[in-house]
Amino acid sequence: MRLSFVRPVAQQLFRELALTALLLLGVSFVVFLVLYFSPGDPFSLLLEGQMVTAETQQQLRMALGVPEHWYSQYLFWLGNMVQGNFGTSIRSGLPVLPEIIRVGINTLYLTVGSMVVTLLIAVPIALSPAQRGETPLNWPFTMFAYLVSALPVFWLGYVFIYIFIHQFKLFPILYGYSSERELTPLFFLLPILVLGVGNGTISEVVRHLRDEMSRVLQEDYVRTARAKGASAWRHAFKEGFLIPITEIVAAKIPFILGGAVVVEQVFNWPGMGRLAWQAALDRDYPVIMGIAVVAALFVRFGTLTQRVVYVMVNPRASQERER
């Protein structure tokens, strides 16, 4: 490893971390504002079925330690959050952060797994014409990429269940509850497959990768390399493959998290999406605030990785190409 890598990477990392901190502050503020201006009172859930007076409501707020003014409410919440205390769920009374981490890991498996599936499908489709030019063979594959990106993901989930479980009995319906226990890990594959195929990003990955690759293949240094008889492929790898892949993956993380909300419902996957849905129904605002912040962290982490990879590949770029 050359030392010249280290400084720009460290600089970049520092910059991005600072930006992430600022952005999370902004995220928390936006979330807080939305909830603050919402017409309902999240505490009414607790008082369900009781004769509520302003007094009992006040009592409840006191019991929960809710300050009076909006800015002190925000600062109060923010201060706790910085210390890792996201509050407790109104619905279950459990601390929010451990709960989010617990289900967040499941969501991580699902999203990372499905990203791999997406790339396994998209990369060959994208690269085959970049390497050999358009052939009649890869056109149907391109169309396939477009088609699957246009499917409603929950419907795809039902169709997969119908085909693979109902008709062919290939997978046990639920993890942990099959008579053939050896097969149960296979069940994990189905939701990952569904989200990987149906998250709507395959066509965009194909498009982005193909454009970038063909652009890079036209660049002088690749041409020179090719003329010298070296593999153009190897020279184009960093800029034409690695960078666009990390770019598109980072950019699509929010999308895939969104798709996960739906897939988790269909496949009973105990993840963050289901928690978010339940919290939306219950107006369980500590939970939904926590999820928004953690999801933003996910997203920022993706961007951070992308920036670091970019700088590592091309140290000079840390000053140039800003997004």
Residue numbers 113-172 binding other proteins by CB under 8 A: 134, 139, 146-147, 149-155, 158-159, 161-162, 165-166, 172
Given the rule CB under 8 A, which of 55-63, 71-79, 120-128, 220-228 is the region that contacts other proteins? 55-63
Give, to the nearest 10 degrees, the angle between helix 138-149 and helix 202-218.
Answer: 140
Amino acid of residue 157: G
In this chain, which of 37, 68, 84, 220 binds other proteins, going by CB under 8 A? Answer: 37
Within 293-322, the residues that bind other proteins by CB under 8 A are 295-296, 298-300, 303, 322
In this chain, which of 128, 238, 255, 314 binds other proteins, going by CB under 8 A? Answer: 255
Within 188-207, the residues that bind other proteins by CB under 8 A are 200, 203, 207
| Shortest Å, Cβ 315 to other proteins | 21
Residue closest to 278 by CA, chosen among 295, 264, 267, 299: 264
Q: What is the DSSP letter of 240?
A: I
In this chain, which of 1, 2, 39, 168 binds other proteins, going by CB under 8 A? Answer: 39
Angle at 98 between CA 28 and CA 117, to 5 degrees: 85
Within 77-106, the residues that bind other proteins by CB under 8 A are 88-94, 102
| Shortest Å, Cβ 2 to other proteins | 29
Q: How many Å apart are CA 158 and CA 155, to the nearest integer? A: 5
Angle at 208 between CA 203 and CA 211, to 5 degrees: 120
Given the rule CB under 8 A, which of 6-14, 234-242, 275-283, 311-319 is the region that contacts other proteins? 275-283
Structure tokens at 289: 């605030």
Given the rule CB under 8 A, which of 4-12, 48-56, 67-75, 237-245 is the region that contacts other proteins? 48-56
Nearer Cβ to other proteins (89/114): 89
Q: How many Å apart are CA 224 and CA 205, to the nearest integer? A: 28
Residue 174 touching other proteins (CB under 8 A): yes
| Shortest Å, Cβ 182 to other proteins | 16
Nearer Cβ to other proteins (24/309): 24
Which stretches within the chain are classed as H helix? 6-37, 54-64, 70-82, 96-132, 138-149, 153-160, 189-198, 202-218, 220-227, 232-237, 243-267, 272-282, 285-313
| Shortest Å, Cβ 204 to other proteins | 9
Q: Total binding residues for other proteins by CB under 8 A?
A: 100
Length of the chain: 323
In this chain, which of 110, 205, 291, 304 binds other proteins, going by CB under 8 A? Answer: 291
> Tokens 């939305």 label which residue?
34
Contact 145, 125 (CB under 8 A): yes
Residue 254 touching other proteins (CB under 8 A): yes
Give, to the nearest 10 degrees, the angle between helix 96-132 and helix 189-198.
Answer: 60
In this chain, which of 13, 15, 52, 238 binds other proteins, going by CB under 8 A? Answer: 52
| Shortest Å, Cβ 80 to other proteins | 14
Scored b (16 or more CB within 10 A) or e, 125-143 reads bbbbbbeeeeeeebeebbe
Residue 226 touching other proteins (CB under 8 A): no
Residue 45 touching other proteins (CB under 8 A): yes
In this chain, which of 9, 292, 308, 311 binds other proteins, going by CB under 8 A? Answer: 292
In this chain, which of 14, 70, 177, 221 binds other proteins, going by CB under 8 A? Answer: 177
Q: How many Å apart are CA 311 and CA 9, to the nearest integer? A: 6
